[in-house]
Amino acid sequence: MPPKCNCLRSGEMHTFLASYLVPGDIVCLSVGDRLPADLRLFDLVDLRMDESSLTGETEAVPKSPDVLCANFPISNMTEVQFSSTNNVNIGDNKAVERLRGCHDLVNIGFMGTLVCSGTAKGLVIGTGEHSEFGEVFRMMHLEEAPRTPLQKSMDKLGKHLSAISLIIISSIVIIGLFQGRHILELLNIGVSLAVAAIPEGLPIVVTVTLAIGQMRMAARNAIVRRLPAVETLGCVNVVCSDKTGTMTKNEMTVSHIVTGSFERYTIPIQQVNKHTDTVCLRVDNFNYINSFAASSGINVTNDITNTTTIKLNEISSQSTGMSNRTNHHLSQMSQTNVRSASFSELRTPYYYPPSLDSILQIGCICNNATIRNDQLFGQPTEGALLRLAAQFHALDERAFYTRLQEWPFSSESKMMIVKCVRNNQSLTSDEPVYFAKGAIDQILNRCAFISLANNPTISMQSSPSDYLPLSLNRYPNNTTTTNNNNLKPLNAETKAEILNEASILGNLGLRVLGLAKGTNSGQMIFYGLVGLIDPPRPGVDACIRILCESGVRVVMITGDAKETACTIGSRLSLYRPGDLCLSGEEVERISVEQLMSVVRNVTVFYRSGPKHKCKIVKALQQSNLVVAMTGDGVNDAIALKSSDIGIAMGRTGTDVCREASDIVLLDDNFATILAAMEEGKALFHNIKNFVGFQLSTSIAALALIALSTLLSLPSPLNAMQILFINILMDGPPAQSLGVEPPDPHVVRQPPRRANDSILDGRLMFNVLTASSIIVSGTLWIFFRELSDNKVTPRDTTMTFTCFVLFDMFNALSFRSQNKSVFSLGFFSNRMFVLAVGLSIFGQLLVIYFPPLQAVFQTEALTLRDFGLLVCLTSSVFFVSELRKLIRLRQDVYFWATYFLSYLKLPKRVKMDNNMV
């Protein structure tokens, strides 16, 4: 439910919290609104709803105010029907039988759904739990959440260990009975072993570790909305990312303009030019500027970009053909920094090339954004067009037009059209004007003419009226007609030239928008195009390189043109010349099976909409890949929902996008994904580490008692001592292994398979090795202290302390499976140091504190005893370090051989080519 809504009460519009709505309120809806309650709709204008959150259908549903014959199936809400005269009849509350699905109720808007297009009003008929969404929410809570793969793996491991432990414990008890031991002693030992050997704390430790990982990811600006997503991050093979707002800053700036007469303008990226005497406009092939400069004494200089810069302070007030008014305006321009400003500050009309006149006008009128106090409210693309007009000190003419209708931009149409009429014209007798902006191919499809607003042979010595200054008297006689002499039919050859210009701008990494207007929406006049630069986010290219090195592919899915997408991809080290690219149209045309055969080799998908993104994600998933999808817009929500991991932008992302995601990036930084994946991989490694630690302790405890029983020896540990070892096994040391800081090299390891078992062969070898050393050392101490075949408190104290110290050194060695503790640092995990310190302190209390001595049947040990035990028990640590060193040298030899062969490969290929 949205936090606020617009409600009509007592004939006045109010904005308040949606939780204050009551049945009978009237809510006003517009594009992008999420419905705060179940509504009976009326006063509809082209209303389409996204009900995917309720029905799962991805297609927008058109709505109608018509009365339905059958009762509509809304649970626990007021039955409402509108007559043809829009009179409201409210009946009694009752649970209506569900005769049809929600998609059949075309006159009902459901709580939680989204307005895709159009406007409407709605009468509140159900709120909260009395809405359809509330009913689904109630049913959802009745269903138990499915177990995650990690949880299932832990359950399976726990069951196997429990079964094996019970078999061994039962065997120990039975063998002890045959040996004539007392039944009560055997029962105490058996119960204690069962408690110690069965890892009942394993699921708790896993859950706590995941929760701590979730907190650590939040500290790194990644909010995990679903806990299972933490474990899935380490399995991701492919990251599908939207370009705008995710890989780029989504801070649009117009940097290039091409007019209908193919005049090319380059505007510096800097919003404010440091030199107050230089206009922020550079012109390519601008013939009449040169002629004007020659006749007016203006010094025109060319810079290294081979463009022309006009310095206004060199314009003489005696320039030929320049009126005093024009001179006055140009003088003011020379004394004013060109900057982004509020339009209310711009009251003086300035003169500029007339070919830009209509481009600036269309960019302002076909626009829903506003700029107040240099802050943008609206879409960055539209804000860039407003700032472009502000740079030229052009007036925002939206106040002088009445907008009759709007066709908003969508990922399907890729263009925006507004239908307007000037305020001083008749709404019935005068033809309205259509203003359009959008993808260049879509704009050209609606254009029949091209404007030649400026002829390059026109001299700037003409009167100021020839420049068509952007002011209220733009059109003579208050008309919006265009001189037919400045128009020519838009033929195929001209379209090809325009598309070529758009391709050139696209190859510069610019987003290209076409601009047109006319009195016929199907035969408009093309006035030019603009190129908008959207700089890549800092650090994204390095992040992509690291992901690729670790075996994770990064795929760009964008709605931009091919040239723009490929150029940005090249700058981000994502795309290389020769890589495969597919358009949304091609994705839609081929089958899923055909897409699966090529999707592994595609790095850029361009001109792609929401349905294309979903098809791409599903094709990757059917190729046995784990897919993460990033995005920030409404058009990304469906793909985020269908991916294995949906990652939304927290700042610029829409509410719909965030709700569909599993992870939200608070800083909108693509590089945060790398940190999140690093945490995900580190968490899985940490889980393996403490599982290995717990298993080695459990196996050692079982083996110690089992061997002593088989050898007809007294029990080396009593019941209380076994329970204390169990506390250490499931307590602070195990928990501290779960919060081990991520190894910087972990992120470069290839992603694990989703069905990989935690207990793999290498981990099992380490567990058995550690258990063997612990059992051997502890039995040796027990044999050494056992002199007369009678167990004394000193015997059990030495054996008990030996096992506990083995446990501490074993925990130290299990901090990493591959990296030496000396390279990790003994104090890098402060929680581990604290946990081991507390455990040793507890052991000393058990040995030296008299009340605890009586409980655990221990006695004080000497410093020499501790020296012997430390030297012996540290063997498990040094054996582990030796194993890691051998493994490291093997890995170094393997990778060195691999890279040497890789470096030699191009030479062999070159020789083969020369031979051929």
Domain presence at residue 147:
no
pLDDT digits (tens, 9 = 90+) for 795-848: 999 999 999 999 999 999 999 888 888 888 888 889 899 999 999 999 999 999
Q: Output the pLDDT for position 633.
A: 65
Q: Which residue has the tokens 């502000």?
A: 390
Instruction: Give me the numbers of helices (H) and strands (E) for the chain, helices first please.
Output: 29, 31
Please tell me the pTM assigned to this model: 0.63
Domain presence at residue 407:
yes
pLDDT beyond 80 at 129: no
The answer to whether the beta carbons of residues 751 and 234 sit under 8 Å apart is yes
The answer to whether the beta carbons of residues 391 and 267 sit under 8 Å apart is yes
**Burial of 601 by CB count in 10 Å (0-12 exposed, 13-18 middle, 19+ buried)?**
exposed
Which helix (H) or strand (E) segment is 780 a member of? helix 761-785
The answer to whether the beta carbons of residues 797 and 847 sit under 8 Å apart is yes
Distance CA 785, CA 440 (A): 89
Handedness of CA 209, 215, 217, 223 (dihedral sign): positive
Distance CA 213, CA 679 (A): 7
Domain presence at residue 260:
no
Is there a single domain that holds both residue 842 and residue 723?
yes
Those residues whose C-beta lies under 8 Å from the C-beta of residue 700, and which sit 6 or more positions away, are: 770, 771, 774, 775, 778, 803, 806
Those residues whose C-beta lies under 8 Å from the C-beta of residue 335, and which sit 6 or more positions away, are: 276
Q: Quick one: average pLDDT of 668-691?
A: 84
Is there a single domain that holds both residue 703 and residue 599?
no
Is there a single domain that holds both residue 52 and residue 138?
yes
Those residues whose C-beta lies under 8 Å from the C-beta of residue 247, and which sit 6 or more positions away, are: 241, 536, 537, 540, 556, 568, 572, 670
Six token digits for residue 5: 């809504």
**Burial of 912 by CB count in 10 Å (0-12 exposed, 13-18 middle, 19+ buried)?**
exposed
The answer to whether the beta carbons of residues 134 and 111 sit under 8 Å apart is yes
Number of domains comprising the chain = 4
Is there a single domain that holds both residue 348 and residue 289?
yes
Q: Output the pLDDT for position 272.
A: 33
The single-letter DSSP state of residue 34 is: B
Distance CA 909, CA 912 (A): 5
461, HSE (Cβ side, Cα atoms, 13 Å): 14
Percent of the chain's residues with pLDDT above 70: 74
Those residues whose C-beta lies under 8 Å from the C-beta of residue 397, and which sit 6 or more positions away, are: 361, 364, 365, 474
Domain presence at residue 76:
yes
Is there a single domain that holds both residue 656 and residue 697?
no
Q: What are phi and psi of 431, to 5 degrees?
A: -75, 135
Least confident of 54-58, 124-128, 723-727: 54-58
pLDDT band at 425 (very low <50, low <70, confident <90, very high): low
Six token digits for residue 601: 């080799």
Q: Output the pLDDT for position 81.
A: 39
485 vs 52: which has the higher pLDDT: 52
Q: Output the pLDDT for position 284.
A: 42
Six token digits for residue 693: 């630690």
* SS3 label, residue 61: strand
Q: Output the pLDDT for position 801.
A: 95
Is there a single domain that holds both residue 661 and residue 800?
no
Is there a single domain that holds both residue 816 and residue 856?
yes
475, HSE (Cβ side, Cα atoms, 13 Å): 14
pLDDT beyond 50 at 267: yes
Is there a single domain that holds both residue 522 and residue 618?
no
Output 282-285 pairs: Cβ under 8 A, ≥24 positions apart: 282/307, 282/308, 282/309, 283/307, 283/308, 283/310, 283/353, 284/308
Domain presence at residue 243:
yes
Is there a single domain that holds both residue 213 and residue 236?
no
Is there a single domain that holds both residue 319 and residue 357?
yes
pLDDT band at 283 (very low <50, low <70, confident <90, very high): very low
Strands 308-311 and 253-259: unpaired
pLDDT beyond 80 at 674: yes
889: amino acid identity, one letter = R
Residue 591 vs residues 206, 616, 619: alpha-carbon distances, Å: 42, 11, 10
* 438 strand-pairing partners: 415, 514
Q: Which CATH number fits the domain that encloses residue 652? A: 3.40.50.1000
* Dihedral angle of Cα 333, 337, 343, 346, to the nearest 10 degrees: -30
Domain presence at residue 901:
no
Q: Output the pLDDT for position 755.
A: 73
866 vs 905: which has the higher pLDDT: 866
Is there a single domain that holds both residue 331 and residue 381?
yes
Is there a single domain that holds both residue 170 and residue 295?
no
Domain presence at residue 478:
no
pLDDT digits (tens, 9 = 90+) for 641-657: 888 888 888 877 766 67
What order of strands is seen across the sheet that includes strand 222-224?
Answer: 222-224, 663-665, 645-649, 627-631, 238-241, 553-557, 602-606, 580-583
Domain that holds residue 778: 158-219+681-743+757-876
- Which one from 25, 242, 541, 560 is the annotated catalytic residue? 242
User: Between the ranges 215-229, 737-751, 866-880, where is the mean pLDDT highest?
Assistant: 866-880
Six token digits for residue 403: 């907008």
Those residues whose C-beta lies under 8 Å from the C-beta of residue 831, and which sit 6 or more positions away, are: 735, 736, 739
Q: Output the pLDDT for position 140.
A: 52
**Burial of 178 by CB count in 10 Å (0-12 exposed, 13-18 middle, 19+ buried)?**
exposed
Instruction: Give me the DSSP letters along 248-278.
Output: B----EEEEEEETT--EEE--S-SS-S-TTE
What angle in degrees, to the nearest 10, is found between the helix axes of 761-785 and 671-710? Answer: 40
pLDDT band at 632 (very low <50, low <70, confident <90, very high): confident
Q: What are phi and psi of 446, to 5 degrees?
A: -105, 5
Q: Which CATH number fits the domain that encloses residue 779? A: 1.20.1110.10
Distance CA 433, CA 298 (A): 39
Domain presence at residue 866:
yes
pLDDT band at 473 (very low <50, low <70, confident <90, very high): very low
Reply yes or no on whether 284 is catalytic.
no
Six token digits for residue 345: 């500050």
